[in-house]
Structure 1
Amino acid sequence: MTIVRRACAALLPTAVLLVGVLAAVGCGRAPSPPEPVATQPVQAVTQLVADLRRNDLEAYARHAVPAPLHARLETAWSEGRTVWPLTELPLDDRFPSFIAALAAQDAERTLVATYRRQFAGADAELRSAAKTLGLFATQYVRNEPGYSETERDHHAQLIVAISAWAQTAPLGDSKRAREAIPQLVAAARATGLAAPDAFAHAGMDRSLRRLGPFVERLKRVLTGYGLDLDAALGSVQASLAEQTGDTARVRIRYRLAGEAVDAYVLVERRDGRWYLSDLLRHAEAEADAPAKPRAAPAAGARAGKAAAPAATAVPAR
Structure 2
Amino acid sequence: MRITLVRHALLPLLAAFVLAGCHGKDDPTQPGGSTPVASVQSSVELLKKGDLAGLWKHALPPADYATLRADWSKRDPNQPPITEQDRARFNETLQKFTAPDAEQKLYAELEPKLTQMEQQYKDQLPVLISMGDALVKRGIAQNTTLDAQQKTQANAVVDVLAPWAQKTPWFDQAKAKQAVHVAVTTVRQLDLKSPEALRAMDFDTAMKKYAIGYAGAKQLLAIYGLSVDDTLDSIKLSELENKDGHARVKIDYTLLGKPLSTETAMVEVDGRWYSESMLKNARQSHQQHEDNAAAAPAPAPAGSAAHTD
Q: What TM-score, normalized to structure 2?
A: 0.71
Describe the SS at the equivalent of 2:145. Answer: coil
Gaps of 5+ in 1: 1-18, 83-96, 293-317
2:95 equivalent among 99, 105, 110: 105
Residue 23 (structure 1) aligns with: 15
Pairing of 1:182-261 with structure 2 (within 5 A): 182-193=181-192, 195-261=194-260
Change (3 A) 1:22 1:70: closer
| Counterpart amino acid of residue 271 in structure 1 | D
1:57 equivalent among 49, 52, 56: 52
Q: Is this contact kept in 2: 1:130–1:167, CA < 8 A?
A: yes
Structure 2 Cα separation of the partners of residues 127 and 194 of structure 1? 40
Gaps of 5+ in 2: 1-10, 20-26, 78-86, 294-309
Change (3 A) 1:172 1:282: same
1:67 equivalent among 30, 42, 62: 62
| Counterpart amino acid of residue 252 in structure 2 | R
Q: Is this contact kept in 2: 1:239–1:252, CA < 8 A?
A: yes
CA deviation after TM superposition for structure 1 residue 144, in Å:
2.1
Structure 2 Cα separation of the partners of residues 44 and 33 of structure 1? 8
CA deviation after TM superposition for structure 1 residue 194, in Å:
6.1
Change (3 A) 1:178 1:63: same
CA deviation after TM superposition for structure 1 residue 132, in Å:
2.1
Residue 136 (structure 1) aligns with: 135
- More deviation in 124-133 or 244-253? 124-133
Describe the SS at the equivalent of 2:178. Answer: helix
Q: Deviations over 1:112-155 (max 9, x none)?
A: 63574267424333333332222211221221223355543433
Q: Is this contact kept in 1: 2:235–2:253, CA < 8 A?
A: yes
Residue 146 (structure 1) aligns with: 145
Q: Is this contact kept in 2: 1:150–1:265, CA < 8 A?
A: no
Change (3 A) 1:194 1:279: farther
Q: What TM-score, normalized to structure 1?
A: 0.70
Structure 2 Cα separation of the partners of residues 164 and 130 of structure 1? 9
Structure 2 Cα separation of the partners of residues 150 and 61 of structure 1? 27
Structure 1 Cα separation of the partners of residues 214 and 92 of structure 2? 14
Structure 2 Cα separation of the partners of residues 21 and 253 of structure 1? 17
CA deviation after TM superposition for structure 1 residue 55, in Å:
1.3
Q: Deviations over 1:238-265 (max 9, x none)?
A: 1001111200111001011122221111
CA deviation after TM superposition for structure 1 residue 24, in Å:
1.9
Change (3 A) 1:148 1:81: farther
Q: RMSD across aligned C-alpha pairs, in angstroms?
A: 3.1
Describe the SS at the equivalent of 1:227. Answer: coil
1:48 equivalent among 31, 43, 47: 43
Q: Is this contact kept in 1: 2:239–2:250, CA < 8 A?
A: yes
Describe the SS at the equivalent of 1:79. Answer: coil
Structure 2 Cα separation of the partners of residues 138 and 160 of structure 1? 9
Change (3 A) 1:51 1:224: same
Detail structure 1 runs of 4+ shifted over 6 Å in the superposition.
none
CA deviation after TM superposition for structure 1 residue 35, in Å:
5.3
**Percent of aligned positions that are identical:** 23
